Amino acid sequence: MIEARSITKFFSVVNEKGLAEGLTAVLNVSLTIPDGKIFSLLGPSGCGKSTFLEILAGLQAPTDGEIRIDGSRVLEPLPSTRKEMEAYKRRYRFISPVANGVFRDHPKHDIAMIFQDYAVFPWMTAIQNVNFALKLHKIPRAQRNERARFFLNRVGLAGVEHKYPSQLSGGMRQRLALARALSVEPKIILMDEPFAAVDALTRERLQDDLLKIWGETGVIIVMVTHDAPEAVYLSDEVVIFSPGPGTIRNRISIDIPRPRRRSDPEIIEIQDRIFAMLQYDLDQESEYSI
């Protein structure tokens, strides 16, 4: 279970006049994600959904609030007083708070993350990529190859173990990222626009494969997307973010049993509702800016 309690993220940015300016990327977002569910975070770009996902993964410290995964805290929030801030800076003088340790590999939580542009390492072959993740999770050397092959087979990448990512197609690279994430048998998979960079047909196949694998393993999947049909087709709940500052605008739970059909009238109806909502936001925004 993931619990996000009133997460706020505040950045200092430099505006066009060269002055420091506050930017609230995420404001007071609370969200509980129960085990075995697929959640989608949907919204226009710049609404803080990716920032929120990185906070979930422990890649950024929230300014306020905390994330708990099965009760244990992911990252401590940034200090609020000057004195605490000085102590914080002293403590993390040489190593950033998001680092795992200087010499010891140590996965803090059972999380795997998949990024839009794959983030599989181009200097490792497919199997080396998977082995890298397995090694960090302390799988003994003797078992790594076999286990890596198993997961590569599972996502349909049998036979290309020794190819480099540059020799694979976009869809295959995304499958490799998925295999690497699955290989460590995480409880949570976070996805940052995972299918945005592949063509429409490949995307649909990848979505179906993802659902199949999810059905077999029952992990929590939290997915950031700006594709409403994808969100509705895949998720148990769609969380719609609105920008400036990033807050939860609406939550739509989808109780249609799986397997779903993309052309199901119920799904189309929910899609239309979401489109209308996003469109309304855009219209309001343009009126506001005039």
Partner 1 sequence: MAETYETRGLRRVFLELWGFIKNSVGNFFSLEFLSLFIPLLLLWEFLPRWNILPESLVPSLSTVAEKFWDMLLHRDLVFHIAYSMSRFFTAFIIAVVLAVPIGLLMGWNLKIRAYLLPLWQLLSPIPPPAWVPITIIFFGIGFRMHTFLMFIGIFYPVLFNTYQGIKDTDPRYLASARVFGASEFTLLRKIYFWHAFGSIIMSLKTGVAMGLVMLLIGESYGGRAGIGYLLGQAKDYFVIPEMVVCMAILGFIGWFLIEVLKYVEIKLAVWKVGR
126 binds partner 1 (CB under 8 A): no
Give whichever of 116 and 271 is closer to partner 1, judged by the CB atom: 116
Residues 166-185 close enough to bind partner 1 by CB under 8 A: 166-167, 184
106 binds partner 1 (CB under 8 A): yes
Give first-to-last CA distance, the chain, whole Å.
43
Query: Least distance (Å) from partner 1 to the CB of residue 153?
Result: 18
Neighbours of 121 (CB within 10 A): 13
Q: Tell me the per-residue interface mask from 40 to 69 with partner 1, x by CB under 8 A, - otherwise.
A: --------------x--xxx----------
Neighbours of 112 (CB within 10 A): 24
Pairwise CA distance, residues 146 & 161, whole Å: 11
111 binds partner 1 (CB under 8 A): yes
199 binds partner 1 (CB under 8 A): no
Pairwise CA distance, residues 150 & 158, whole Å: 9
212 binds partner 1 (CB under 8 A): no
The backbone torsions φ and ψ at residue 72, rounded to the nearest 5 degrees and listed phi first, read: -100, 140
Pairwise CA distance, residues 41 & 187, whole Å: 18
Q: Tell me the per-residue interface mask from 136 to 155 with partner 1, x by CB under 8 A, - otherwise.
A: xx------------------
Residue 59, burial from CB neighbour count under 10 angstroms (0-12, 13-18, 19+): middle
Q: Which residues bind partner 1 (CB under 8 A)?
A: 54, 57-59, 93-95, 98-108, 111-115, 117, 119, 121-125, 127, 132-133, 136-137, 162, 164-167, 184, 190
